[in-house]
Structure 1
Amino acid sequence: MAALAVAGVASAQSSVTLFGVVDASISGYSSTSRDQNNGVTYNAAGFPIYNPFYVNKGSVKTSRRELASSALNSSRLGFRGTEDLGGGLAASFWLEAPIKNDDGSEGVATFARRSTVSLSGAFGEVRLGRDLTPTFKNHDAFDPFGTSGVGTNLIHTAENSFGTFGTPAASVGSISNVGTNNYVRASNTIGYFLPADLGGFYGQVMYGFHEKNKYSPGTATPPDENKSRQGRYVGGRFGYANGPLDVALAYGSSTVGDDFYVGTTTKVNTFNLGASYDFGPVKLFGELSRAKNKIDYEVEPYLGGRPDMDLTGYLLGVTVPVGAGLIRASYSSVKYDENLVARTAWEVLPADKKANKLAIGYVHNLSKRTALYATVARVSNKNGAGYTVGGPVFYNNAANSFTPKTSTGYDFGIRHAF
């Protein structure tokens, strides 16, 4: 019956492809937090209070080793097909599921990586379904580590947690939760892609429906449905690729929170620019990114409301071909700014959170489809930033006295694509 079903699908399509990646690694993570207090605290008015009996608690390291997946390329299993409709038109589908080959806990239970159907021709392509967002594509395209493993672009790590939905859907077992944010992938989208024959120019636009009920008049909105616009996404990406040069500009706006009765709408707006140039002996990568988490007030609060929060970052990277292998390295940095304003002339505001990351790795291609790889990375946090390379979070206690400092990690693995 299975063979007949496959044969039936194949006969109705010009092409049907089964594809995937199986990637497994031995990975280790270590994150250290320290007590940086010296007995001095500040009261609500900003005046220092000294405790001469304070005993520093030192540092605490949390670490873990594991057999992980997706450290070089994300493990996946997918099906894609195209039907030639004649006259230059083609209909296509793409169903791609994340898999966890380290323990088998997730397989083709959800096509959370991509699930689209499209129509293409001389006009370009119109694509419907769940797909990668334009702004994320710049992170992935201009990161030597492809946003996978301990070497992942720190900008991607920071922005992925910058705008989670206010009321995320609950996870179901180990199945990928598509209701936490739409930073990497957006659901319920309509996308348009420019034709491929524009002399190197490419681009796309995307709109994602929030799929929430809307009531008229608005005052009829039930209290449990007052987040009527949460989940909406609008974005676009345009670039130029010709020979060794590739450069792209992207913008995206995600509505991550909405409260009709309070009269507030929270959005995360992201703007980034990425580029790469292949000199032959080396290929250089670079990216600049800025994200803003802002609240739009229907009625501006008397004290001005919460300030916008900014997250800026940059990345510099390089790849160097060496025989059958490839050396990869990158340096990325982020800065988090809450735009706080001192309440008094003597109040001391906390310094802006900062972090940087250095990663280096090597990929050895045994064939076109199979590779061995090794990556090491280190994150240095400042002023309370708490980013890790993966694995366990930083230690803290009820007194909140420990400050995140460094996080290091490694991946040693094998990847096979088919």
Structure 2
Amino acid sequence: MKLRNIPLAVAVGAILAAPVAMAQSSVQIYGKLYPYLLDEKGSGATEKGATVSTLAATPTGEGGVSRVRGMVSGNSRLGFRGQEDLGGGLNAVFQLEGVASVDDGTGAAAGGGFMFNRNTYVGLEDKRFGSLQLGVNDTILKNYGDTIGLLGVSSGTFMSTSSVFRKAGFGPSSASSFHLRRANSVTYETPEFGGVTGGIQWSTDEAKTEIRDPRVLSMGVKYDNGPFYVALAHEIHYDLYGGSRNVPTAQRNNGATDPTRSKDRATQFTVEWRMNKQHKFEFDAIRKEYSENAATAGRFSSYRNMAYLLAMENRWSDQWRTSAHYVMATAGNCTRVAAACTTDGLEGKKVTVGAAYYLSKRTYLFSAASRITNGKSARFSNAELGGAPTPGEDLTHFAIGLSHSF
């Protein structure tokens, strides 16, 4: 047995070798696999010498995303979950979940082995007091918004709205993202009261130093009852440097050798209307703000913008289902220390459409197409097969795939 396969082997072996424990609790092995053939290309990069935003990279006229065709599998996953009745309405719960790359047979570990790198936690649940989970978990803001998705296969793929909706458009670093799954997290959700639930999550980082203390606070409240779902969420990123890690090098505050601290915030509003079991419609709005207390002239200080999302899903029969998304991000505004700052051309748009044909309740064929249209300074990206867009480069994707859940 290769060492890289030991974590999965131990997990499966522990479950199979513990009939007494399983008799006292419930354990489920589950998964979702959705490989697809993908055509990806970039086009229309901003010409060399063009005037762009202060926060943008210098345009070269050359694109960064080549025409590539291949197979990918998004966030295809394998997991184990279960619970134990502790009496008095209290349950212990756990979940272990990881990416299963069915396109090439590897996991998500650096060496190709399987790792539990998705929502993985242990916790307590009680209908009277709510739930408490410790481990790796999606943030409250991520969970409470963008509820429809696209055909159940948008997670971790070019179809995800987060590439434009929850990120800044002036650089490729994920540090600006408000679409997070946080390690070292403590997540609490209240019981449901008349359709209303509240949640809060705190996560820290072992990378704390005397200068920086990376951590995230995410909170929200949602109403889910009948045809309506309404949610409001707020999230704060301390010392993640979503601005500096995306601007040109000369403008960066590194947070390592200088005392600059960062505080990035987002507030998200979501409303979903379920006209009936077959048709759903959603609207989201998010305000993002990236701020750093820089003191050196010319360094990044702040950036703010808005983004909006429209989504719909329609089931036309037992076999046919369609979905569509439209995302628009504004150029926003920015500041630098004792220097001018412009955001001209940092806007972006994304359109995604898809259709699915069900062979059974758990298996379906799907096809989807997407296009990101970047402003002349923007670099919003959903590239999957390599490369990152240069300023102004638009990205186009088309895919055909198969999804199976178990």
Q: Quick check: TM above 0.5? A: yes
What letter corresponds to residue 291 of structure 2 in structure 1? K
1:252 corresponds to 2:235: yes
Q: 2:313 aligns with which of 292, 298, 319?
A: 319
Give 1:97 deviation, angstroms. Answer: 0.9
- The answer as to whether partners of 1:33 and 1:60 remain within 8 angstroms in 2 is no
Change (3 A) 1:338 1:7: same
2:42/2:63 contact within 8 Å kept: no
The reply on whether 1:277 has 2:281 as its aligned counterpart is no
Tell whether the 8 Å contact from 2:146 to 2:284 is kept in structure 1 after alignment: no
> Match for 1:404 among 383, 392, 397?
392
What is the Cα deviation at residue 307 of structure 1?
2.6
Say if 2:350 is the partner of 1:357. yes
Report the 3-state secondary structure (helix = DSSP H, G, I; strand = E; otherwise coil) of the residue aligned with 2:66: strand
User: In the alignment, which residue of structure 2 is the partner of 1:105?
Assistant: 106
Aligned length: 363
**Letter of the aligned partner of 1:191 in structure 2?**
T
1:137 counterpart SS class? helix
Match in the other structure for 1:63: 67
Cα-Cα RMSD = 3.3
Tell whether 2:401 aligns with 1:413. Answer: yes
AA aligned to 1:184 is: L
1:371 matched to 2:380? The reply is no
**2:129 corresponds to:** 123
Distance 1:156 1:99 in 2: 26
Q: Which SS does the other structure have where 1:141 is aligned?
A: coil
Distance 1:352 1:145, change over 3 A: farther
Secondary structure at 1:308 match in 2: strand
Provide the C-alpha distance between the structure 2 equivalents of 1:27 and 1:145, rounded to a whole number of angstroms: 16
- Superposed CA deviations along residues 230-262 of structure 1, whole A, max 9, x for unmatched, are 2x1111121101111111111111121484763
Deviation at 1:304, TM superposition (A): 9.0
The two structures have a TM-score, normalised by structure 2, of: 0.79
Give the AA of the match of 2:236: S
- Classify 1:110/1:61 alpha carbon distance in 2 versus 1 (closer, same or farther; 3 Å): closer
Partners of 2:174 and 2:50 in 1: CA distance = 34
Gaps of 5+ in 1: 45-55, 166-179, 214-224, 397-402
Report what 1:291 is aligned to: 288
Displacement of 1:267? 2.3
- Secondary structure at the residue paired with 1:152? coil
Shift in CA distance, 235/395, structure 1 to aligned 2, threshold 3 Å = closer
The letter for the 2-side match of 1:28 is: D
Give, as a single letter, the amino acid of the residue that structure 1 aligns with 2:347: K
What is the aligned-residue identity percentage? 24
CA contact (8 A) 1:31 1:394 kept: no
Other-structure match for 1:380: 373
Cα distance in 1, alignment partners of residues 301 and 51 from structure 2: 25
Measure how far apart 1:393 and its partner are: 3.4
Q: Which residue of 1 aligns with 2:159?
A: 151
Secondary structure (helix, strand or coil) at the match of 2:17 reads helix
How far apart, in 2, do the equivalents of 1:254 and 1:163 lie? 15
Name the larger-Rg structure.
Answer: 1
Amino acid in structure 2 at the alignment position of 1:248: A
TM-score by length of 1: 0.77
- Looking at structure 2, the residues matched to 182 and 359 of structure 1 have their Cα atoms a distance apart, in angstroms, of 20
Q: Which runs of 4+ in 1 moved over 6 A?
A: 39-42, 56-61, 160-163, 341-344
Once the two structures are superposed, residues 330-358 of structure 1 have per-residue CA deviations (whole angstroms, 9 ceiling, x without a partner) of 110112435147989xx895614111011
In 2, the alpha carbon distance for the partners of 1:21 and 1:124 equals 28
Kindly indicate whether the alpha-carbon contact (under 8 Å) linking 1:142 and 1:285 is maintained by their aligned counterparts in 2.
Answer: yes
Shift of 1:385: 0.9
C-alpha distance in 2, partners of 1:26/1:157?
26
- Counterpart contact for 2:349–2:374, Cα < 8 Å: yes
Deviations 1:276-312 (A, max 9, x none): 1011253111100111111135xxx375963311232
Asked if the contact 2:172–2:380 (Cα under 8 Å) also holds between the matched residues in 1, the reply is: no
Report the AA paired with residue 92 of structure 1. Answer: V
Q: Per the alignment, in what secondary structure is the counterpart of residue 135 of structure 1?
A: helix
State the SS of the aligned residue for 2:103. Answer: coil
Q: Which structure shows the bigger proportion of residues in strand conformation?
A: 1
State yes or no: 1:204 paired with 2:163.
Answer: no
Cα distance between partner residues in 1 of 2:388 and 2:206: 37
User: Unpaired runs of 5+ in structure 2?
Assistant: 1-11, 55-59, 242-253
